[in-house]
Structure 1
Amino acid sequence: MPNTYFQFKQFRINQDQCAMKVCTDSCVFGAYLEVRQAKRVLDIGTGTGLLALMVAQRSEAEVEAVEINPEAQVQALQNFVESPWADRLKLHPMPLQEFAETCTQQYDVILSNPPFFLASLKSDNAAKNTAKHTGDLLFEDILTFAQKHLTQDGKLYLLLPPAEANHFAELAQTHALYLTETMEIFTRIGGKCIRHVQTYTCNPKTNTLTKTLYIRKEDGTTYTPDFSELLRDYYLIF
Structure 2
Amino acid sequence: MKVCTDACVLGAAAELTTATRILDVGTGTGLLALFAAQRNATATVEAVEIAPDAARQASHNVARSPWADRVRVHPLSLAQFAATSPAPFDHILSNPPFFRRALRSPDAARTTARHTAPDTLSFGELARFAADFLTPAGALTILLPPPEMQQFEREAAHAGLYPAARLVLHHRPGSKALRHITRFSRRAEAADTRALPIHPAGTDDYSPEFRQLLRGFYLAF
Aligned positions of 1:1-238 closer than 5 A: 18=1, 21-59=2-40, 60-135=42-117, 136-205=120-189, 207-238=190-221
What amino acid is the match of 2:191?
Answer: T
| Conservation of the 8 A alpha-carbon contact between 2:128 and 2:156 | no
Quick check: 2:44–2:71 contact (8 Å CA) kept in 1? yes
The Cα of 1:167 is off from its aligned counterpart by: 0.6
SS of 2:137's equivalent?
strand
Inter-partner Cα distance in structure 2 for 1:118 and 1:99: 24
C-alpha displacement of 1:192:
2.5
| 1:208 positional shift | 1.6
* Superposition CA RMSD, Å: 0.9
- CA distance in structure 1 between the partners assigned to 2:86 and 2:78 by the alignment: 13
- Tell me, in whole angstroms, the C-alpha distance in 2 between the residues paired with 1:190 and 1:178: 26
Please, what TM-score do these two structures have when normalized by structure 2? 0.96
Per-residue CA deviation, residues 166-215 of structure 1 (Å, 9 max, x unaligned), is 1101111110111111111001123221100011001221x121110000
Q: What are the superposed Cα offsets for residues 17-41 of structure 1, whole Å, 9 maximum, x if unpaired?
A: x3xx101111111000111111000
SS of match in other structure, 2:79? helix
Amino acid across the alignment from 1:74: R
> Could you tell me how far 1:223 is from its partner in structure 2?
0.9
> What is the rounded CA distance, in whole Å, between the counterparts of 2:174 and 2:21 in structure 1?
38
In 2 relative to 1, CA 69–220 (structure 1 residues): closer, same or farther, beyond 3 Å? Answer: farther
Which amino acid in 2 is paired with 1:182? Answer: R
Structure 2 gaps, min length 5: none
Alpha-carbon separation, structure 1, partners of 2:29 and 2:216:
19
Following superposition, the deviation at residue 103 of structure 1 comes to: 2.1
- Secondary structure of residue in 1 paired with 2:140: strand
Q: Quote the Cα distance in structure 2 between the aligned partners of 1:120 and 1:208.
A: 30
What letter matches 1:78 in structure 2?
A: H
Q: Deviations over 1:111-156 (max 9, x none)?
A: 1000011221212111111000011111111111111110111000
Q: Distance in 1 between matches of 2:185 and 2:203?
A: 35
Distance in 1, matches of 2:218 and 2:188, equals: 36
Bigger shift: residues 45-54 or 213-222 = 213-222
Q: Any conservation in 1 of the 2:49–2:77 contact (CA below 8 Å)? A: yes
Native 8 Å contact 2:12 2:214 kept in 1: yes
- Tell me how far apart the structure 2 counterparts of residues 203 and 190 of structure 1 sit (CA, whole Å): 30
Percent identity at matched positions? 46
